[in-house]
Structure 1
Amino acid sequence: MVRASVKDCPVPFPNIDPIAFAIGPIAIRWYALAYLVGTLLGAAYGYRMLSKQHLWHRGHPPFPAKDIWDFAFWTMLAIVIGGRLGYVLFYNLPYYLQNPIEIINTLDGGMSFHGGMLGLALAAILFSRSKGGNWLSSLDLIASVATIGIFLGRIANFINGELYGAPASVAWAVIFPTDPMQVPRHPSQLYEAALEGLLLFLAIRIATHVFYALRKPGLVAGIFAIGYSLARILVEFVRLPDAHIGYLYGGWLTQGQVLSLPILLGGIILVAYAATRRENPLRP
């Protein structure tokens, strides 16, 4: 195991206060701002995409661009509720069964991306159906904008000094002030921000605006699911698992990797389905 003092660390941790600002007794954290700003930027980007009808299957987006702000409210609720319930179910169910009141206590930071993504998918399907739109296209819309929130969320994780990686000797290793061992570690939050956020956004942007992938409903959602799952599985090899869960199946898999596998499979199925159908039956 690599051990070093703070002064030996190649990259000093930018000791940013997790609280962005406070108004009296109310403290606004960077993590909360990441959710809010990610949703607003995603909605603004989604508005532009919905306005360009030529991008979509038969020229029909899943719902009118003017409805994006109503949809943004749905997504905020879906992210919070889905993310929290996902954490309860996937990461610490025995504890919450014994302490059910703690389920609504989000101050402990327990949120699951996989749960939030399931919540988003459900919200997108229900909202588009209420508007008479193609629900597969609504999943494509979510896939096109979700990387913005992922990028900001992982940056906020880094600022909080949470979800860091395993001990490392790479030149960019960081000693996190929240680490009780105080050893250089992989900044796995930044790896995820780069792969699941920035790189995946660029790949999907090329797919939607160069290859017109939105004309095949479900294709962009499949690309997102594959790209996110592969990036998450890869980064999990250098990211520490949750302490109360540890490594699974003989010490070589993490819960994050296990949860990413069905999403990877679902993405492959979506891509195969969308790419092999000339006319999608799930039309508006």
Structure 2
Amino acid sequence: MNECLPPFTLIDPVIFQIGPFALRWYAVAYIAGLLLGWRYMVALSRRPKLYVPQGVPPRGTPFNVEDIDDLLLWVTIGVVGGGRLGYVLFYQFDAIWERPLWIVTGIVEGGMSFHGGLIGVALALFFTCRNRKLDLFRVGDAAAVVTPIGLFFGRLANFINGELWGRPTDVPWAMQFANDPLGACRHPSQLYEAALEGVLIFAVINIATWKFRSLARPGMNAGLFLLIYGLSRALLETVREPDRHMPEALQGYVTMGMLLSIPMIFIGAWLIWRAWKKGPVPAPAVRETGKTEKA
């Protein structure tokens, strides 16, 4: 076996435990991502200048603090419920009849799907916007600004847990993972994902938002998020340990992560094209109730 960095054990995955209750960094990562994202969206709800082209007087923001507070609850349900169900359906389908109770109890050990969580969040956005009479594209664009925060913390938690490691490699920074029965030297792919899915996407979308007023182009930020994430994930799947649940004919060629990212790439590209074609559209003013005023 080639020499490589030892397993990362400086941080125990369990912060503390009292009886059967254990607080894990994995849970804290989700909580931190949701709370920081919520506060950032509240800040965006108070920046009307971001929703109009430069030089155009602001009329208001397309959502308010009350809307974001309501959205937080449903997004939390969407992230957790969608992420877990997506993991089971995409990666552990046999568990539905082999160990159905584990679908719920096993969540404390990890096992969440980003693509499932994304579907859950999309449903939360859709129904919240419909109920509160909000523009789905504009709220989705603001959500795209803050989502990379949660992705960054989530991937760091994957690294601390020693899960979702990369393929065997001989690069100088290869490392072992304590949970790996082979004890192989592997890519720390969780850190790659934290960098691309978290830092890179956050930087690109925030530059677009604050420097180029992309929130004035409904659908632009959501498109950037979907496109960059889809491309990044497809690329990172080449160094991430392949899924064991793909049909035998596809193993070695594509992974489930690649297949699930393809629709994201096309939808993201379409949203960017649509937003660019329509051009900047000043956001309508918002009353205290969260409903848009008539022009």
> TM-score by structure 2 length?
0.87
Distance in 1 (CA, whole Å) between partners of 2:7 and 2:84 is: 32
Residue range with higher mean Cα deviation, 13-22 or 189-198: 13-22
Q: Secondary structure at the match of 2:40?
A: helix
Instruction: Please tell me whether residue 225 in structure 1 is matched to residue 226 in structure 2.
Output: yes
Q: How many Å separate the matches in 2 of 1:59 and 1:237?
A: 47
Q: Please report how far the alpha carbon of residue 12 of structure 1 lies from its aligned counterpart in structure 2 after TM superposition.
A: 5.4
Which residue does the alignment assign to 2:88? 88
Check whether the contact 1:247–1:255 (CA below 8 A) recurs between aligned residues. no
2:124 is the counterpart of 1:129: no
Counterpart of 1:273 in structure 2 is: 274
Residue identity matched to 1:258: L
Mapping of 1:204-219 within 5 angstroms?
A: 204-219=205-220
Q: SS at the partner of 1:166? A: coil
Matched, 1:103 2:111: no
Match of 2:198 in 1: 197
Matches within 5 A, 1:59-74: 59-74=59-74
Q: Secondary structure at the match of 2:22?
A: strand
SS of the residue 1:13 aligns to: coil
Q: Are 1:138 and 2:139 an aligned pair?
A: yes
Kindly provide the amino acid, as one letter, of the partner of residue 40 in structure 1.
Answer: L
Select the residue among 44, 51, 55 that pairs with 2:50. 55
Does structure 2 retain, via aligned residues, the 8 Å contact 1:42–1:149? Answer: yes
Change (3 A) 1:220 1:262: same
Q: CA deviation at 1:11?
A: 6.0
Gaps of 5+ in 2: 53-57, 285-291
> Which of 12, 24, 31 is 1:29 aligned to?
24
- Count of equivalent residues: 279
Give the structure-1-normalised TM-score: 0.90
CA contact (8 A) 1:241 1:247 kept: no
Report the Cα offset of residue 90 of structure 1: 1.8
Matched residue SS, 1:20: strand
Deviation at 1:36, TM superposition (A): 0.5
Q: 1:11 to 1:205 in 2, by over 3 A?
A: farther
TM-superposed CA distance for 1:78, in Å, is: 0.7
| Cα separation, 1, equivalents of 2:247 and 2:108 | 22
User: Residue 7 of structure 2 contacts residue 178 of structure 2 at CA under 8 Å; is this kept in 1?
Assistant: no
Native 8 Å contact 2:67 2:132 kept in 1: no
Contact 1:192 / 1:235 at 8 angstroms: preserved in 2?
Answer: yes
Structural RMSD (CA): 2.2
Name the CA distance, whole Å, in 2 between partners of 1:108 and 1:193. Answer: 20
The alignment status of 1:261 with 2:233, answered yes or no, reads no
Gaps of 5+ in 1: none
TM superposition shift of 1:271: 0.6
Greater alpha carbon shift after TM alignment, 213-222 vs 70-79: 70-79
| Equivalent AA in structure 2 for residue 70 of structure 1 | D
Take 1:201 and 1:97, find their aligned partners in 2: how far apart are those partners? 39
Q: Which amino acid aligns with 2:263?
A: P
CA drift of 1:59 comes to 4.3
Residue 30 of structure 1 contacts residue 156 of structure 1 at CA under 8 Å; is this kept in 2? yes
SS at match of 1:206: helix
Deviation at 1:222, TM superposition (A): 0.2
